Amino acid sequence: MAAWGGSVELDHPSETVWDFLTSASNDANWRGPWVVSVRTLSDGPLAVGSRYETVYRFFGRLQRVIVETTELASPRRMAWRQVDDPTVVSNVGSYDLEPLDGGRTRFTVIGTFTSRGWRRLIDAPFAWYLRHGPVQQQHAQLAAALAAAARDPSTAPAAAEA
């Protein structure tokens, strides 16, 4: 098993960040180019047990992953776990939002994954790569997407019901 993740301070209140993060329609926007699409599989509002299908671009190949929400504490924490049979890796993770002074938020994403077969040999270097490449890029993309939504509120997602 290998761990990845990181934190970034965002210039938006935790409620705004929460609403953005819990709208599945935003995932491909700030998590690209790795996340190609996200589709809600469960009916009703976001809740513990809600399931999503995410299509990732993984080393040039598309991989479909089904995740289930395991924890939901608006507007502070959301956690998930992969529930389908992993083709390459199996993962669990969480988003944590910490309100800061001045209406800012510390966003932390943490995850662990376990590769199958011989790929376990590269879990540690791959986790290092995630922490120092994609996670940093996604944090910058999240900050930019939130700033764009703040400039044009008509593009902001509706508040997710928890």
Q: Report the pLDDT value the prediction gives residue 156, as an integer from 0 to 100.
A: 53
In-domain check, residue 39? no
Q: How confident is the model at residue 40 (pLDDT cuts 50, 70, 90)?
A: very high
| Nearest alpha-carbon partner for 18 in 136, 110, 102, 99 | 99
Task: Specify whether the backbone of 103 is left (phi greater than 0), alpha (psi in -120 to 50) or beta.
Answer: left
Q: How confident is the model at residue 100 (pLDDT cuts 50, 70, 90)?
A: very high
Tell me the average pLDDT of the chain: 87
Residue 53 clears pLDDT 50, i.e. is over it: yes
In-domain check, residue 43? no
Query: What is the C-alpha separation between 142 and 20, in angstroms, rounded?
Result: 9
**Residue 130 vs residue 69, higher pLDDT:** 69
Q: How confident is the model at residue 160 (pLDDT cuts 50, 70, 90)?
A: very low
Q: Report the pLDDT value the prediction gives residue 153, as an integer from 0 to 100.
A: 67
Measured CA to CA in angstroms, residue 157 lies from 62, 74, 116 at distances of: 27, 16, 37
Of the CA atoms within 13 Å of residue 135, those in its CB half-sphere come to 20
In-domain check, residue 98? yes
In Å, the largest CA–CA distance within the chain is 48
The single-letter code of the amino acid at 124 is A
CB atoms within 10 A of CB 148: 12
In-domain check, residue 150? yes
In-domain check, residue 62? no
Express each pLDDT in 57-67 by its tens digit.
Answer: 877 889 899 99
What CATH number should be reported for the domain holding residue 100? 3.30.530.20
In-domain check, residue 57? no
Which range marks the domain in which residue 87 is found? 2-26+70-155
